Amino acid sequence: MPFPRSSGVLLHPTSLPSRFGIGDLGSEAYRFVEFLAESRQKLWQVLPLGPTGYGNSPYMCFSAMAGNPLLISPERLRDEGLLSEEDFGDLPEFPAHKVDFEKVIEVKTPLLKKACENFKKETSPKSQQRFKSFCTSKAYWLDDYAFFMALRDAHEGESWHKWEPELAERDPATLAKFEQELADEIIYHKFLQFEFFRQWSDIKRFANDRNIQIIGDIPIYVAHDSADVWAHPEYFCLDEESKEPALMAGVPPDYFSETGQLWGNPVYDWEILQKDHFKWWVERFQSLLDYVDIVRIDHFRGFEAYWAVERGEETAINGEWIKAPGEGLFQVIRDKFGKLPVLAEDLGVITPEVEKLRDDFEFPGMKILHFAFGSGAGNPYLPFNYERNSVVYTGTHDNNTTVGWYEFLPEHEKQGLLAYIGCVSSEGVHWDLIRLALSSVANQAIIPLQDILGLGGAARMNVPSEGVGNWEWRYLPGALTYREIELFRKLTETFGRA
């Protein structure tokens, strides 16, 4: 689906300022949307919004369809009458520049539980009816998710495949027994989703009213320890006895790692999914399109063929490519939803077959300026090689910031960049690359906020080959000044993206 010429910013909500140690859907989220509007942007791209597990990666969530309760704003719960300002009296001092996830969970969980208790006791019949309507409309994923999280809490965070066999294998009598015993906990997890979606829907409406669309991210895979795999094990390649992944997802050696990336997620049993007319995938798209305007499909190439690594391997080197039914899947989804507002993350080992799948459905591919310099005029990431139906980034959440990238750029690539742009401007190399992205023919241009702020490598969001210490970066209140707004706005207007 070709898109009109536009531009925007990549920023995950956890990176917003907040006094609760993590960005949330409170006042700073609205201030960020106002920054986008004042600088004439039309797009806000976020990472997956699901509830994160070990490593805090938004690409390894407990559900492919739920929202992250840590993004719920306690101040908005206060404004609803579910908390009071006195409840915030003993807040600890949080790190200013990063998220301390353990500390955040320790502080926010009691607040969320108290809000839930107050909701059950004190809210109006109208609010209670809204809650019931929400639970009914989302039941196709919410029931399994809330039950899964309640069971996980009851098992002190142990992965589902280590629960009692009757629970792991979803014996109906055992499920009914636990569902009755954990009724209050199940309501709590449903309440968290109700509040997340209510707060997120308000933010989205605020953005849409200012002609800003939300780009949401759909990871190709889900975490093994998730409601999705527990509830639908038939859709995944699992070992029959241990219930662990029999085939693990990843990618072969690439730009980011000499040994490849072994993600550990179970790959899909596409044959079973296909027999079920891709029902689970249709529901997944439906759930995401409920709260975003445009979908970025992560690891798009895996829908043409995916890299599968057998259980027991410690790196992704010894894997194999297996054909996937991407054409059939996207045709079913198009039949259901019409022409899709989809962006394809077509990075990595891209073959003519992957390009054909992308182009057959008119999905814009991604162009990354950090990959553009040092390998000659045929480099597909050089702006003069772009097609209009593409989206250009200075870098993605997996790249260093532009300032950090330039600092460690090999000399021959640095010379290639300088020859291309002429020289580094007085505003800095990050603004040179922003100008290059906005001036390109690509229909869409997305700039990470770190580049607008001119931040170095310490502000990097993710290092793909490292399992811990990622996803923590936050910006400070007041960082978005008149200077950034004016520079960004003028370039956006100059290059026809306003």
Q: Which residues are marked as active site?
A: 298, 345, 398
How open is the CA angle 425-428-430, to the nearest 5 degrees? Answer: 115
* Residue 265 and residue 221 in contact, taking contact as beta carbons nearer than 8 Å: yes
- CA–CA distance from 247 to each of 236, 240, 455, 467, 497 (Å)? 9, 12, 39, 20, 44
d(CA 158, CA 467): 19
d(CA 431, CA 288): 33
Maximal C-alpha separation, the chain: 71
Residue tagged 């410690």 (tokens): 314
Q: Which of 223, 206, 225, 226 is nearest to 214 (CA)?
A: 206
> 2 Cβ partners below 8 Å, 6+ apart?
362, 364, 388, 389, 443
d(CA 114, CA 102): 19
List beta partners, residue 261.
251
Question: At residue 246, what are phi and psi to the nearest 5 degrees?
Answer: -80, -35
